[in-house]
Amino acid sequence: MEIYDTSTASLIAKKLLEIKAIKLSPKQPFTWASGWKSPIYCDNRLSLSYPSVRQLILEKLIKAIQTHFLNIEAVAGVATAGIPQGVLIADKLDIPFLYVRSKAKGHGMENRIEGKISPGQKVVVVEDLISTGGSSLKAVSDLRDAGFDVLGMVAIFTYGFPLADQNFANEHVKLVCLSDYASLLPQALEQGYISNEDMAALNSWRKEPASWQP
């Protein structure tokens, strides 16, 4: 996993905190669908409601793509949160867009991939958030099975779990993120969202998220 650049990582983290797309609550943690207790909740879809933040994220995602994936021919969004940014990117770059469902549609053509399937086409996958990478990498697998040449993936934010890094490495998928948990914490401290006392708990969570307790 790579971060596009450190200044972008800090700026995106700051903006996501400001619009409350990221919430931090180390003393009263959130419960994820997996059952994990977490001091952070991230919903980057909120950024779509703030034009200036939406435009900033779009601009930086495009720059990350143009820096790391020069031969891009299409954009694939991961349903559902990767779809809006994926559409915006494809529109700006004037290239095809498609998206990948988490499971096949239960009627009609029963597609997992929506859009024109062009075997051999070089595609970059767009995600909003990376946790363990499981659902994101399933989308990559579906695209590869359909014959696409997946150049890699871009995402807005990653928790930076070592497990995710290993999963992406195992599948030989290059991941470039705009911001990450390590860039978020200094911004949160500087802006007064957390205290120095909170930092130890927040740092320990990222190392052992499955077993962490407040």
Known binding site for 5-phospho-alpha-D-ribose 1-diphosphate: residues?
101, 105, 107, 127-135
Write out the binding residues for orotate: 131
Q: How many CA atoms lie within 13 A of 121 on its CB side?
A: 18
CB of 124 closer than 8 Å to CB of 118 = no
Strands 113-114 and 97-100: antiparallel
Question: Could you count the other beta carbons within 10 Å of the beta carbon of residue 44?
Answer: 25
Write out the binding residues: 101, 105, 107, 127-135
**What is the rounded distance in angstroms from the CA atom of residue 77 to the CA atom of residue 80?**
8
Residue with tokens 């659902």: 135
